Amino acid sequence: MSGTPSGLPWARAGIEPGVLLATEADIPRENDWLSAAELATLAAVRVPARRRDWRLGRWVAKRALVAVLGESIEIELRTASDGAPEALVNGVPALVNVSISHREGVGACLVAGPGTAAGCDLELVEPRHEALARHFFTPAERALVDGSGIAGRDLAVALVWSAKESALKALRQGLRIDAREIEVTVDPDSRAGSIWRPLAVRNAGRTFSGWWTLHARLLLTVVTEPRAAPPALLGL
């Protein structure tokens, strides 16, 4: 799963949201692309699956930032006090917002400008226990799931949950707030023929515009505030 060059004039017109997808197979075997601080962090991760996910997240984020900012830069990803990833370019905090997700050996990174809150999430479309919707979805979201029919239920549940996760990342809150304080709506405009389909997420008077796309059984959602066009697919 790889993107294509966006062709957007990043330097002249500012940084519009862009997303890059990568797989574990894209990552170099060695770790010479990691900074000293990143190598220390990786060394502390003992669980093999978590190590693979961590490396995948860092790799896709660095490649996304190179696609946006250019090749001749040194990039380091650090974790902010609230848990969100932050990028340093040539040792200086970058004027970008970054969101990372990974699932089933695929990583995604959404990059947006400094004035844009942004979040992305990857989810597998699969059967889930009904308790997820019962405990974490609003009445309107449960109605959306119930109205999707048996064939569409797994996708509807994954879509609502993924959009919530994206919004929580954009809010830089994680699950520190009740997921039911965030409500997802799906735009009836299906945009047939487009890779992206619209959604919206609302929380305490804020509205995030969002988009989703499906690759086989892997669902990707992105949200931004203020409203933005569908993210460009970044490629190198």
**Domains observed in the chain:** 14-114 (3.90.470.20), 120-231 (3.90.470.20)
SS3 78: strand
Residue 168 predicted with pLDDT over 50: yes
User: Which tokens go with 41?
Assistant: 């962090």
3-state helix, strand, coil in the chain (%, to 5): 35, 30, 35
Do the beta carbons of residue 212 and residue 7 sit within 8 Å? Answer: no
pLDDT at position 18: 96
Instruction: Name the percent of the chain lying above pLDDT 70.
Output: 91
pLDDT band at 150 (very low <50, low <70, confident <90, very high): confident
Task: Give per-residue pLDDT as tens, 83-138.
Answer: 899 999 989 999 999 999 999 999 999 999 999 999 999 999 999 999 999 999 99
Instruction: Name the residue among 105, 104, 101, 187 with its Cα closest to residue 144.
Output: 187
Task: Give per-residue pLDDT as tens, 1-44.
Answer: 433 333 333 333 468 999 999 999 999 999 999 999 999 999 99
Instruction: Name the residue among 159, 142, 173, 172 with its Cα closest to residue 221.
Output: 159
Q: Which residues neighbour 84 within 8 Å (Cβ) at sequence distance 6 or greater?
A: 99, 169, 172
Q: Which of 25-29, 52-56, 69-73, 92-96 has the lowest mean pLDDT?
A: 69-73
Average of pLDDT values for 192-219?
90
Average of pLDDT values for 158-166?
97
pLDDT at position 5: 34
Instruction: Name the residue among 43, 62, 40 with its Cα closest to residue 51.
Output: 43
Average pLDDT, the chain: 89
Query: How many other CB atoms sit within 10 Å of the CB of residue 213?
Result: 18
Query: How many other CB atoms sit within 10 Å of the CB of residue 62?
Result: 24
Residue 77 predicted with pLDDT over 90: yes
